[in-house]
Amino acid sequence: MARVLIVGAGLTGSLCAALLRREASSPLRLTVWDKAGDSGGRMTTASSPHNPQSTVDLGAQYITCTPHYAKIHQSFYDELLAGGILKPLTSPIDGMVIKEGDCNFVAPHGVSSIVNHYLKQSGADICFRQRVTQINLRNNKWEVSRETGSSEQFDIIVLTMPVPQILQLRGDIANFVPECESQTNSHTKQPIHLKCVFQWYLFQISNDMKPFPQSIALTSIPPSSIPMAIGKLEN
C-alpha cells in the first residue's frame, strides 16, 4: 500500500486528500501534516477562549461561485449545500463586489468546516505542529524530516503550502522544484519577481505503485481541478 504525505491541512490539502481517497483505484495510506495547531490554513475559524460558541473566520468569510465554476464544478457546491456546510449568503458584506451571475455562500459553522468536511472524508491520519524542514530521496522513498520528531518515509508527497515555504525546503527536493522566473518592468526598469506558478508537487518513484505512473509532477492545480488531474494520473 502506497504511503502518501500531504503537507498542508488547508482547503487544497484537505480536498486533495478526500479526492485521492475517492478516486484512487488502489488503496492508499494517507497522512496529512500541518505546521499549525489546527486545520484550515487561510480558511481558519477561531473560537473565543471564554465562549466556544463565539467564533470568527480569520480567512475567507464567504465563498463565491462564478458561472464558470458553477458549470464545471457544481457537484462540489451541491455536496456542501446538501450537508449544511454552505448556505446562500442573503445579507451584504461591507466592501463586497457583486458581479452578475455570481452566487455567494457562507459557512454557518465557520469556514474551516469546509476543510474539516474533506479531511473527515479522506480518513487520513492528521498531525498538527509538524513543520517539514527537509525532503531527501532514500532508496526510492521520500524521507521527510521535521522540526520535532523523527523523519518518516513516504512513496508520494503532495506539497500544498505557499510557494515561499516550498522554496525554503532543504534536501533533494530542491532538485525537483523549478526556479521562479524574474523579469524587469519595461517602464521603471525595476525587477519584477513573478509568483512561481508551481504550487503543487506530486512525486512518485516506485515502479510498482498504481494508479500513479512513475515520476509525476502536478503543477498549478487549484482545488477545483483535482478531479481532472487525478484522471490524468490514472490514464
The mean per-residue pLDDT over the stretch 153-164 comes to: 86
**pLDDT tens readout for residues 43-94:** 899 888 898 888 898 888 888 899 988 888 899 999 999 999 999 998 878 8
CB 202 within 8 A of CB 218: yes
Distance CA 43, CA 24 (A): 26
Q: Is pLDDT larger for residue 113 or for residue 213?
A: 113
Q: What residue segments make up the domains of the chain, in order of their start?
A: 2-60+111-177
The mean per-residue pLDDT over the stretch 11-26 comes to: 88
Q: Are strands 202-204 and 152-154 parallel, antiparallel or unpaired?
A: unpaired
Distance CA 146, CA 135 (A): 9
Q: Residue 33: enclosing H or E segment and its boundaries?
A: strand 28-34
Q: Residue 134: enclosing H or E segment and its boundaries?
A: strand 132-138
CB 15 within 8 A of CB 75: no
Residue 124 cell numbers, joined: 487520513
3-state DSSP assignment of residue 3? strand
Tell me the whole-structure pTM to 2 decimals.
Answer: 0.77
The mean per-residue pLDDT over the stretch 127-154 comes to: 92
At residue 173, the pLDDT reads: 83
Q: Classify domain 2-60+111-177 by CATH number.
A: 3.50.50.60
Of 44-58, 115-129, 163-177, 199-213, where does the model show the most confidence?
A: 115-129
At residue 178, the pLDDT reads: 58
- 84-117 per-residue burial string, b: 16 or more CB within 10 A, e: under 16: ebbeebeeeeeeeeeeeeeebbbbeebbbbbbbb
At residue 23, the pLDDT reads: 85
